[in-house]
Chain A
């Protein structure tokens, strides 16, 4: 397409992009600035829009010492969230890639029914089935454990569906060539399906890691011990205080810290992630 550049066609796209970036980035910036002032300045409502000089102090307090209300330092909470998110992401991928492999490549009775059963669980997110799930986890004695935090969230219709769609694009001839080359189902899975799925796996890992990281309701329900708390709950607890002054600077520091791991995951996997979302050539 030949495009004639005018003042207008140069300016307008940039204007729209800049507006978009501002809308997304400004609150993050405010959180960052907030985390660099002392409680008094923020409480007065006189916090300026440039960073203050309490940055190091706030972050070291948030990470190591905890604050007056939550009493739990951010470090262990970050670790809890990280472990939970990793178990959820890895677990989801492991289970759904295997079930998708079964549904696509094996002919067994009730195969379609199995697939549709998995599919309709899309209509039953955690929030809907929260009571029975809680009951089961409680009866199994998994309250306040990593297993209890992660296992109920591992089953994933979305990931199964995605892998199924991807497997269906792998040409049948590859399966047949493998058969003739003497590779059984397990060998075909390990030697061919897994390497071909690597970008899809990366994309799903990023998405599911963030999904796990951002869980709020479920961890809130099943963790009562302070040392099992996740970062999202930690932030929430810092904001609601009965009789003390909310330490906004610590809450903001915690929020900024909470953003870092997902950002890191996205950055590290960006290349694979984008390829996984757009790749069509097999």
Chain B
């Protein structure tokens, strides 16, 4: 078990392309850190640098108190689970799991004990003598996990391990990975592009975009207080609505002709400044009769079962509202919405940064 520290890590490829532009993250001992971002944001490259599969152009990666920049992958005391499992097709499940231990000259009875134990934890005992091709996707996934845990490494690295599974299995494996990580208490870094996976698994969520870290925090922090417009629209499903707004006085902002109180908006903004206002689909509420609110024109309705998504516009901006099914009578064309002041997020239109009342550093510590 170990702390993992990334200090200003950069990756520049031979062609001059900068895939990772100076990332610093501290992952506490036993922490579950998820790197999330759209494809091409550098999250996999970063993980592969921790694994030792990519060279580090500059900066420092430390596992425990050891800088591992120039240490071979096998010596880093890590285990990795790959997206396509990367099982050795010609070896039985048992040999797949035992291979890493055999290469480390572990005594035979010790190997057997550990493989059996891993197989028991992952419920793959009946398949130990089979070849990977005789297994289903979920079972192969378990074998890949077994290969990782049998080594008792200091760090687990997961590279989109669930993307090749079908939706139902993905949810199930997600829970199992979380349980397993809790039980073993091994520091883990997990790469995914799926923001639901990221939210549910992490204690430390790192949102990346374009080779840079957009925000680091607990899932709740990131969800409640997105630091940038990118994070706001990336985390949460359906994504946060972004509407054009204009700053008024007294911490209020005007959206679609309606004045809204914004609890966290910076107080030193010039009235009349054009900003982007973010409102989560699930946080706007339909106003009680007689109460004034934003005029929301409904275009169409998407049924999701328990909830429904109302697509429409507020002023000129597209807006999606998520409400419990049946909240709005069929055929309603217009409703008024009220939005709680702490659910109004204000972003700089140019830089996309949150215009926050508290300084960014203070909010990170909170």
Contacts and interface: CB of A to CB of B under 8 A. Distances in A.
Contacts of A191: 88, 99
Nearest to A281: B133
B78 to A, nearest CB: 7
A281 B84 CA distance: 14
A181 B84 contact: no
A196 interface: yes
A282 B89 contact: yes
Given A173-B84, A176-B82, A181 B90 contact: no
B49 interface: no
B51 A180 contact: yes
Given A177-B86, A192-B88, A182 B53 contact: no
Task: Give the bracket for the number of chain A residues in contact with chain B.
Answer: 10 to 19
Contact of B80 (A174, A176, A187): A176
Interface residues of B, number: 24
B38 interface: no
B104 interface: yes
Given A187-B103, A282-B89, A179 B82 contact: no
A174 B88 contact: yes
Nearest to A192: B88
* B interface, over-half SS: loop
Given A176-B53, A196-B90, A281-B133, A181 B82 contact: no
Nearest to B53: A176
B87 to A, nearest CB: 8
A195 interface: yes
Given A179-B74, A180-B79, A182-B74, A173 B103 contact: no
Interchain residue pairs A-B with the least CB separation, the first 3: A173-B86, A182-B74, A181-B100
29 contacts: A171-B86, A173-B82, A173-B84, A173-B85, A173-B86, A174-B88, A176-B51, A176-B82, A176-B86, A177-B80, A177-B82, A177-B86, A177-B87, A177-B147, A179-B53, A179-B74, A180-B52, A180-B53, A180-B73, A180-B80, A180-B100, A181-B74, A181-B147, A182-B104, A183-B99, A191-B88, A195-B90, A196-B90, A282-B89
Interface of B: 51-53, 72-74, 78-80, 82-90, 99-100, 103-104, 133, 147
